[in-house]
């Protein structure tokens, strides 16, 4: 553990990395999942349910389960292996400061999700920050920890977004 005087000088992200590095694995999974999901659930999923439940949105024909399954099972694994690992390992090798790694990579990764509009990017940027912090904190333990934890939280998050969305269910209220 670092001395108190050094901890006070750390940025918010560096403190979060240190926190997750020193916590139990189960707690890290729970905290990072909740941090990833909180804003999208409040600003995306709950309003959609309100619009559907009062009849403002009709979901006829909006369901494509194959896209949801790919987003839940395949995308997080591929994105972690082919995007997170090479870029974040390069940043680590080049000794880029954690704050720049976190903000830069989160922005880059969010902008890769071109299906979102401006507000979608804004809402999900904190989610990408959380996943990047998770990778960096678990990388302190091992490469395998970083790979598995980031992939697992990404899968839990995608599962939540797909399965909690009212647009997933064709005739829920009808």
Please count the residues of the chain: 174
Residue 36 resides in a domain: no
3-class secondary structure, 61:
coil
Q: What is the pLDDT along the chain (174 residues), one digit of tens a residue?
A: 555 555 568 888 999 999 999 999 999 999 999 999 999 999 888 888 887 776 665 555 455 556 667 778 888 999 999 999 999 999 999 999 999 999 999 999 999 988 878 888 888 899 999 999 999 999 999 999 999 999 999 999 988 888 887 777 666 554
Q: Please check whether residue 40 is in contact with residue 123, taking contact to mean a CB–CB distance below 8 angstroms.
A: yes
Q: Among 94, 36, 79, 66, which Cα is nearest to 28's?
A: 36
> Per-residue DSSP letters for 115-142?
TS-HHHHHHHHHHHHHHHHHHHHHHTT-
* Tally of domains within the chain: 1
Residue 109 resides in a domain: yes
Residue 34 resides in a domain: no
* Max CA pair span of the chain: 61
Residue 149 resides in a domain: yes
Residue 22 resides in a domain: no
Predicted TM-score (pTM) of the model is 0.84
Residue 112 resides in a domain: yes
Contacts of 156 (CB under 8 A, 6+ apart): 29, 33
Q: Please check whether residue 30 is in contact with residue 20, taking contact to mean a CB–CB distance below 8 angstroms.
A: no
Q: Which domain holds residue 133?
A: 69-167
Alpha-carbon distance of 174 to 172, in angstroms, equals 6
Q: Please check whether residue 137 is in contact with residue 21, taking contact to mean a CB–CB distance below 8 angstroms.
A: yes
Residue 35 resides in a domain: no
Instruction: Give counts: helices (H), strands (E), the chain.
Output: 10, 0
Residue 50 resides in a domain: no
Contacts of 93 (CB under 8 A, 6+ apart): none
């Amino acid at each position: 553990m670092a001395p108190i005087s050094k901890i006070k000088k750390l940025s918010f992200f560096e403190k979060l990395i240190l926190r997750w590095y020193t916590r139990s694995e189960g707690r890290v999974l729970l905290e990072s999942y909740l941090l990833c999901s909180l804003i999208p659930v409040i600003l995306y999923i709950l309003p959609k349910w309100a619009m559907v439940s009062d009849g403002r949105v009709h979901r006829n024909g909006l369901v494509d389960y194959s896209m949801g399954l790919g987003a839940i099972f395949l995308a997080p694994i591929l994105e972690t292996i082919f995007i997170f690992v090479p870029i974040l390992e390069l940043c680590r090798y080049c000794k880029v400061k954690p704050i720049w790694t976190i903000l830069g990579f989160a922005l880059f990764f969010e902008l890769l999700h071109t299906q979102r509009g401006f507000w979608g990017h804004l809402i999900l940027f904190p989610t990408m920050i959380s996943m990047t912090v998770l990778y960096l904190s678990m990388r302190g333990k091992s490469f395998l920890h970083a790979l598995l934890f980031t992939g697992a939280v990404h899968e839990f998050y995608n599962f939540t977004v797909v399965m909690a969305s009212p647009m997933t269910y064709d005739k829920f209220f009808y």
